[in-house]
Amino acid sequence: MKLDKNNILVVGDLHEPFTLKGYRQHCKKIQKKYRCGTVVFIGDIVDNHSINYHEHDPDLWSPVDEMKKADKKLAQWFKDFPNAYITWGNHDSLPDRKGKTVGLPKRCFKTFREMWKLPKGWIDGPEFIIQNVLFKHAGKSGPMGPLNTAIASRISVVIGHNHSVGCIGWNVSVKDRIFGMNPGNGTDRKTLAFAYGKDILNKPFIGCGVILNRGKLPIIEPMELGSK
């Protein structure tokens, strides 16, 4: 099947190795459905739970073991999506943030690309503009966060970060029409890494996004709970 580079698949936060079973297959199915030749991972492809600033669950793995498990999971994503863009998320950046906390310069650490052995076909950075749509990991917060980020930036925007949000909002002026989208994510809320959210009413919205018509038509494709 021939893919169209003008059709964009947006993969939500993964937080490997704590991604929900079946999410990768869901994203691959949606890519084929819309023939998406461009793929954007919206950030937080890894969780780094063991080195987070929040409490580390003592029943989970050491940093070394967590990274090994994440490596195995990421290898499957690299195989299914050999070419992609990836915006750096706040969890992706934890090693650098920890280094700053203890006063170490960046030269003391591997880059994000080196640390996770990103394929040559993956382009990583803080944000990207593709087909006049801005892709970045985080923006303004809350259910209206994606739209408010778009209005402030005056360009259509796709963000992730907020796990309980899956939405598309529009703003129309006399000059233009823009949208803000959060496509959802792939986190498994039942893992110990996300135990902090067990009493929160709003649960993660599991899904991915598609943008068609050269950056003008955003679509959200939810993943059916329990699908393989």
pLDDT value of position 201 = 85
Show me where the domains of the chain are located.
4-222
Which CB contacts under 8 angstroms, 24+ apart, belong to 78-82?
78/118, 78/119, 78/122, 80/24, 80/27, 80/28, 81/11, 81/27, 81/28, 81/31, 81/39, 81/41, 82/119, 82/121
Question: Would you give the distance in Å from CA 217 to the centre of its chain?
Answer: 19
Answer CATH for 4-222 from 3.60.21.10, 3.90.1170.40, 1.10.287.130, 3.40.30.10: 3.60.21.10
pLDDT value of position 174 = 94
pLDDT value of position 22 = 96
pLDDT value of position 226 = 62
Give the contacts of 201 (CB within 8 A, at least 6 positions apart). none
pLDDT tens across the length of the chain (228 residues)? 799 999 999 999 999 999 999 999 999 999 999 999 999 999 999 999 998 888 778 888 888 999 999 999 999 999 999 999 999 999 999 998 988 898 988 888 899 999 999 999 999 999 999 999 999 999 999 889 999 999 999 999 999 999 999 999 999 999 999 999 999 999 999 998 888 877 888 899 999 999 999 999 999 999 998 644
pLDDT value of position 24 = 98
pLDDT value of position 123 = 98
- CA–CA gap between residue 51 and residue 190 (Å, rounded): 20
- CA–CA gap between residue 207 and residue 195 (Å, rounded): 20
Phi, psi of 129 (to 5 degrees): -110, 115
Question: Which element (helix H / strand E) includes 130?
Answer: strand 127-130
- CA–CA gap between residue 187 and residue 204 (Å, rounded): 7
Give the contacts of 104 (CB within 8 A, at least 6 positions apart). none
Q: What are 89-98's pLDDT values in tens digits?
A: 999 999 989 8
pLDDT value of position 227 = 44
- CA–CA gap between residue 218 and residue 215 (Å, rounded): 8
Strand, coil or helix: what is 108?
helix
